[in-house]
Structure 1
Amino acid sequence: MIDDDIIAAHQALANIVKSNVSAECQNWLEGVVQSSDSAKISQAFVMLPRKTGKLPVQLSDAQKVLINGLGIDYISSWTIDRLSRVYLLSALNTEEKDKWYSTIDRLFLSAEMNEAVALYSALPFLAHPEIWVKRCAEGIRSNIGSVLEAIMENNPYPSANLDEAAWNQLVLKAFFTEKDIKLIIGLDERANLALALTLTDYAKERWAAGREVNPQLWRLVAKFINAEIFEALKAGLQHYNQTEQRAIALAIAHSDYQPAKDYIHTFPELKIALADGQLNWDSF
């Protein structure tokens, strides 16, 4: 049984594709979608950009409302070839699980960069999400920036399906490769002690090398501040980087570790910044 949300998302994609491509392209694509020929589907996936073009997706007001209601408003930033490829893959959500799994898995094995971006973007739209966990985890090891962004940014699949170790690897690599941390879906919900400790060690390494620390890092440490982490925070507060200081102060404010809360009050500027209520993670 295919999940109702996946069916609704596929229908939304179909609607948007139809309004962004020519009638000729639409007829060709529908013929492919209705085909049960794996080779034909794979070939179409590869050649889609030549049929659709690569312009940014254009959305009507009604379509914006539709995708917002489905929680897939992030697709508004895609190009039409990327969206059409995801639509084609989502059309393979049949009860013939083994057949369509093999078709998509072969595409992963032979994908060039833009194809890989579309494949990882499609993960939230595919049935039986559990069978793609290994592929997603492998993708995190990629060194291609756009592929990593497709996995890490505005993609609900990783937080919903990866185990803690793979999730922590994703977040840590996002910091390493300077991705937009705020675009990682499930960031706060998947925060955990092991990740907090690893990120704290990473921060200490950057300080030792004379480098700045992304303030969003402390967002993931806040709930887990203990005596060990507090020592690192105290060292961080001695740096003359106001942004980092404020991020550490906000993390402490969100923690339950009283010694840290008491300590932050010895910094008048930080105490005032916290008191006025203007400091939040979106401000970094």
Structure 2
Amino acid sequence: MIEVIRRRCPDKAQNWLNQTLTQLHAPLDRNLFGAAYAGVRRRLGGEPVIIDPEEQAALQGTELLSLNGHALDEVCRIFLLFRASECLAPGDYAPFISELYLRGDNYERQALLRGLTYLPDPERFVATAVEACRTNAQVIFEAIACDNPYPLRYFPELNYNHMVLKALFIGSPLSRVVGLEERITPELVRMAEDYAAERRAAGRPVPEDIELITSNWGAKHEAI
């Protein structure tokens, strides 16, 4: 990942990045890390990272290919999060991630949430990811709920269902919820149908993509 970042850094940012990585070692200086994590966008900018064929070959077989199209500052922040895992005791890392999320701005939070899948032992960050689903900021909610495999892999059923219902409620497209079809259950179908009934009773339109829940569930049963 670091080479993907370096190849896109202007010289001045390259020097800053190299100096920062040299200073990030165990025991982690949290103030130094916080300043670096917050300053990435100002230093590197937010241009999308388009992975070229050479990089695709090098990253083949890793999940890092899915970073294609992410902003450069976001990719760098995810790398810094991974670097921090090497500088902290295992028991300190999940609380560190939680605190970083709570203290971050919108850009910092989005990068953290999109990076959870790539971090060591990602299941330990479920509490932080679930907390993100409670946000009032749609961009933060969509950072965990949309185009992100983390909920599919690690959310308990109740939390996953609540996330999907919130996506319906605030207008986040269900087509971007990774693996939705795999996580449809009778309870999720019931919740979606109850929500649709409430909307109709109030004379409000029902989101069209609710059919991604109800129709997929029906198709599953027809196939059995």
TM range (shorter): 0.7 to 0.9
Match of 1:194 among 187, 192, 198: 187
Match of 2:96 in 1: 103
Query: How far is 1:104 from its partner?
Result: 2.6
Task: Note the alpha carbon deviations across 1:196-232, whole angstroms, 9 max, x for none.
Answer: 10001111122223333333322323465xxxxxxxx
Matched, 1:255 2:198: no
SS, match of residue 30 in structure 1: helix
Match of 1:89 in 2: 81
Say whether the 8 Å CA contact 1:74–1:154 is kept in structure 2. no
Task: Note the alpha carbon deviations across 1:32-51, whole angstroms, 9 max, x for none.
Answer: 33422222111100111111
For 1:33 and 1:170, locate their aligned partners in 2 and report how far apart those are by CA, in whole Å. Answer: 36
Task: Note the alpha carbon deviations across 1:224-271, whole angstroms, 9 max, x for none.
Answer: 5xxxxxxxxxxxxxxxxxxxxxxxxxx4x55339xxxxxxxxxxxxxx
Match of 1:26 among 6, 14, 37: 14
SS, match of residue 210 in structure 1: coil
Matched, 1:55 2:47: yes
For 2:9 and 2:148, locate their aligned partners in 1 and report how far apart those are by CA, in whole Å. Answer: 25
Runs of 4+ in 1 over 6 A off after TM superposition: none
Match of 1:140 among 129, 133, 144: 133
Matched, 1:182 2:170: no
Say whether the 8 Å CA contact 1:38–1:103 is kept in structure 2. no
For 2:211 and 2:173, locate their aligned partners in 1 and report how far apart those are by CA, in whole Å. Answer: 15
User: Scaled by the length of structure 1, what TM-score is found?
Assistant: 0.69
Say whether the 8 Å CA contact 1:82–1:118 is kept in structure 2. yes
Q: Which has the larger radius of gyration?
A: 1
CA change 1:144–1:205 in 2 (3 A) is: same
Say whether the 8 Å CA contact 2:20–2:36 is kept in structure 1. yes
Q: Which moved more, 1:47-56 or 1:206-215?
A: 206-215
CA change 1:212–1:64 in 2 (3 A) is: farther
CA change 1:115–1:161 in 2 (3 A) is: same
Query: How far is 1:20 from its partner?
Result: 1.3
Task: State the number of aligned residues.
Answer: 219
Matched, 1:153 2:149: no
For 2:59 and 2:163, locate their aligned partners in 1 and report how far apart those are by CA, in whole Å. Answer: 26
Matched, 1:209 2:206: no
For 1:183 and 1:63, locate their aligned partners in 2 and report how far apart those are by CA, in whole Å. Answer: 26
Query: How far is 1:83 from its partner?
Result: 1.4
Match of 1:281 in 2: none
Match of 2:62 in 1: 70
User: Scaled by the length of structure 2, what TM-score is found?
Assistant: 0.86
SS, match of residue 187 in structure 2: helix
Give percent identity, aligned residues only: 27
Say whether the 8 Å CA contact 1:117–1:146 is kept in structure 2. yes
RMSD: 2.4
Letter matched to residue 19 of structure 1: R
- Unaligned 5+ segments in structure 2 are none
CA change 1:39–1:98 in 2 (3 A) is: farther
- Unaligned 5+ segments in structure 1 are 1-12, 225-250, 258-284
Q: Which has the higher contact order (CA 8 A, sep 6+)?
A: 2
For 2:120 and 2:203, locate their aligned partners in 1 and report how far apart those are by CA, in whole Å. Answer: 46
Q: Which moved more, 1:24-33 or 1:41-50?
A: 24-33
Match of 2:38 in 1: 46
SS, match of residue 256 in structure 1: helix
